[in-house]
Chains A and B, each alone.
Chain A
Amino acid sequence: MNLCDNFRAALAAHLESGTGTPRELGLDGHVATCAECRFALENEEVLELWLQQGELAGGVPAGFVARILAALESERDLFPLGPLLGTVPAPNVPVGLAQRVLEGVRSRVSAPAVAATGDFDGPGFDRPIFRARSRAALVAAANPAVVGGFRRRTFVLAAVALFLGILTTVVVTRGIAPTVPVELEAALDDPSDELLANLDMLEDWELLAGTEDDVYLVVGALDEFDLWLLELAAAQSDALVPEFETTARERG
C-alpha cells in the first residue's frame, strides 16, 4: 500500500469504528503534499460536522459512511474546489514593506512624547521612547529633566507676551489718535457757521502750518464741540496753542 492507501484506510477506519484519526496515526503530514487525500480529509470534517449536528441522528447504518464518501468523491469530480482555490495567486508583497511599517510604527509610538514636550529636537526619540509603555514613560523618556518646567515656562511666557502686546497696543493707539468723544461724533456732520468761519480763518492765516504768532479767535458763539475741533486744530500749530488756551481760560 502506498501513502494514499494508508491514509484512506486510516480515515475509513476512523469513520467506521472510531479508531485513531489520521493525525493521531501520524498520517496527517501526507495531506500536505496530496491534494486528493486532503480533500478526503476535508470531507471527513464535513461528515463529522453533520454527525455533530444530528443530521444523521439515530445511528449510522452499515456501509453508510462508505456511501457518503463515495458521494463526496463523486462531488469532488464535479466540483474540484480544492484545485480551483489553488488558482488564486499569492498576493504580491510590496518591496520594503517591513521597513516602512517599522518606521511608521516608531513614528506613531514616539508622537505622544513629541506632543507632550514640544521638544522636537530633544533627546530620546530612539530606543528609550520606543521602549516606553505609557504616556508618562514616553514623556520621561523624551526629556526627563525639563518636561514639566518647560511646559509651565512656555505658558507663562506666552501669557506675559500676550498681556504686554495688548497693553502696548492700547497705549500707543491712544497716544497717536485721541478718541473722539461719543457725544460729539454726531455733530461732525453739521458744524456751526462760527466754527467753519474760525477754521477758514486758521487756514487763511496759515496757522495750521505754524507761520503766525498772534491769533484772535471769535469763541463766544462756539459750543463744546466747536471748541474740541479747534483744540484739534491747535494741536497742529504751536503758535495757536497759547492764544487758544488763554481764550479758553477766559471763557471758563
Chain B
Amino acid sequence: MTGTDHPTSTAAADEGADLMLRWRAGDERAFERIVELHAGPVYALLTRFLGDTPNREDLVQEVFLRVVRARDRYAPSARFSTFLYTIAFNLAANERARAELRRTASLDAWAGGEGDAPDGRGRELVDPNGVRPDSELARADAGELVRSAIAELPAQQRMALILARYEELPYSEIAVVLGSSEKAVKSLIHRARESLRARLAPLLEEDYA
C-alpha cells in the first residue's frame, strides 16, 4: 500500500486519539490502554528501523515518556499513530546517528547525506557489511538480505519506506512524521525503491531471471 488508503483513517476510528483525550481528562486507565495498544507497534517500528539493537525496549519507554510530557500539547487533529511515530522517528534517528558515530566503516564517506553524489550518480554500495552478490546472496536468507538492504538506506528513506510498506501509513501522515511534504515523501520512497532494486539486483536476477 502506498499511501492511498488506511484502515483507520477517520478521526472517529482513531482509538489512540480518543484515549489521549480521556487521559487528559483524568482517566488514568486510558494511558495504560495506550501503552498496551501501541508499545508493540512502536517496538516493531524501531526494530525495522534500527535492527536488533539491544536498547529498543528502552527507546519504547522513552517514546511513551515523551507522550506523558507532551500530553497537554497533543492535538487531536493529528492521528495518534502519526503523533507517536513522529516521536519514535526522532528518537530512532538520534539513536542511529549515535550508532553511526561509533561505526568505523560507514557510508558517510559520501558527505551528501541521503542525496546523490555531486556528479549526479546514484549512491554506490560501499558498505562492506552491506548486501553482497553471488555466493553470499546464495547462502543467506532472502528476508535477512532485504532487511540488511533496508538498513543501509538513509534514515529518512528508510523510515518513509517502512511506514509506507509495513505500517501502511498514507503519504500525508508519513510527511507529518518526517516533517516533510507529501511530494518529498514520494521522492524519498522512490529513491529508496531504486536503491533497493540496485542492492538486491543480484538476488532478483538469481531468483527471477
CB contacts (< 8 Å) of B142 on chain A: these are 84, 87
Q: Which of A32, A79, A130 contacts B197 (CB 8 A)?
A: A79
B74 on the A face (CB < 8 A): no
Q: Across the interface, which residues of B come within 8 angstroms of A127, CB to CB?
A: 28
Contact check, A102 vs B32: say whether CB atoms are below 8 A apart. yes
CB closest chain-A residue, reference B183: A52
Q: Is A109 an interface residue when CB atoms closer than 8 A count as contact?
A: yes
Does B187 have its Cβ within 8 Å of any Cβ on chain A? yes
- Whether A87 touches B146, Cβ cut-off 8 Å, given contacts A42-B2, A46-B190, A77-B208, is yes
Number of A-B contacts (CB under 8 A): 119
Asked if A45 meets B197 with Cβ closer than 8 Å, knowing A28-B4, A78-B204, A85-B146, the reply is: no
Which residues from 58 to 85 on chain A have a C-beta closer than 8 Å to any C-beta of chain B?
77-81, 84-85
Interface residues in A, total, Cβ within 8 A:
43
A31-B39 contact given A88-B147, A101-B60, CB 8 Å threshold: no
Smallest Cβ distance from A93 to chain B, in angstroms? 4
Contact of A105 among B5, B47, B64 (CB under 8 A): B64
Interface residue tally for chain B (C-beta within 8 Å): 47
Contact assessment for A28 and B5 in the assembled complex, using a CB-CB cutoff below 8 Å: yes
A31 and B5 contact, Cβ closer than 8 Å, known pairs A48-B186, A49-B187, A91-B44 = yes
A-B contact list, 9 entries, CB within 8 Å: A41-B4, A42-B2, A45-B186, A46-B190, A77-B208, A81-B193, A90-B44, A97-B40, A104-B65
Chain B residues packing against A (C-beta within 8 Å): 1-5, 7, 26, 28, 32, 35-36, 39-40, 43-44, 47-48, 57, 60-61, 64-65, 68, 71-72, 142-143, 146-147, 150, 165-166, 183, 186-187, 189-190, 193, 196-197, 200-201, 203-205, 208-209
